[in-house]
Chain A
Amino acid sequence: AQSVTQPDIHITVSEGASLELRCNYSYGATPYLFWYVQSPGQGLQLLLKYFSGDTLVQGIKGFEAEFKRSQSSFNLRKPSVHWSDAAEYFCAVVSSNDYKLSFGAGTTVTVRA
């Protein structure tokens, strides 16, 4: 069965600084990976996805993620964070057999002025 680990529970970053959120996955076959963001009181919004091809994927809101098969990682990055990026971020992997989505526990991002 697939699984996702997000090692960082909480990250605090200054506005304008760079951000990197870590994600490690476990899956036997080619993984299909997602990053979702959840703002307070909101549902999950898809930031970006990786299915195949270029290992550096671009998403919405200036986010990007890099797939590294050798490290089983799919880390999310943003060069310069804005106060509106304060939210909870979830990495997820989907099974290509049954399309089931497995989420990590999430990383809460706090942005300080």
Chain B
Amino acid sequence: EAGVAQSPRYKIIEKRQSVAFWCNPISGHATLYWYQQILGQGPKLLIQFQNNGVVDDSQLPKDRFSAERLKGVDSTLKIQPAKLEDSAVYLCASRSPGTGVYEQYFGPGTRLTVT
């Protein structure tokens, strides 16, 4: 079974530029998560999708971050414009549907450096 795929793996941009990250979850996983992991910290949830609908985006800085999950499969996270404090690893995770299924499977992440 293929894992969660993310691209690109690394990205360097200047502040005020825009950037987009892509995630392809495990096949059949209805729930998709985007996390932000700042150096020295644990991952922090940005947004959660159930199929193509947003379940929770309370921690997403909506003035600059946006995300979508068209057709309930792939997802894109965008930052526009980027700030220095957005430098972090952006992790995508997915979870299989069903009650009592708690495990999330993580992709390799995209390391963003904003200069």
Contact = CB atoms under 8 A, between A and B. Distances in A.
A87 interface: no
Contact of B106 (A41, A43, A51, A99): A43
Contacts, number: 50
Contacts of B44: 103
A99 B41 contact: no
Interface of B: 4, 6, 31, 33, 40-45, 48, 56, 91, 93, 95, 102-109, 111
Given A90-B42, A100-B48, A103-B42, 5 more contacts: A41-B111, A44-B106, A99-B95, A103-B43, A105-B41
Interface of A: 4, 32, 34, 36, 41-46, 49, 51, 90, 92, 94, 96, 98-101, 103-106
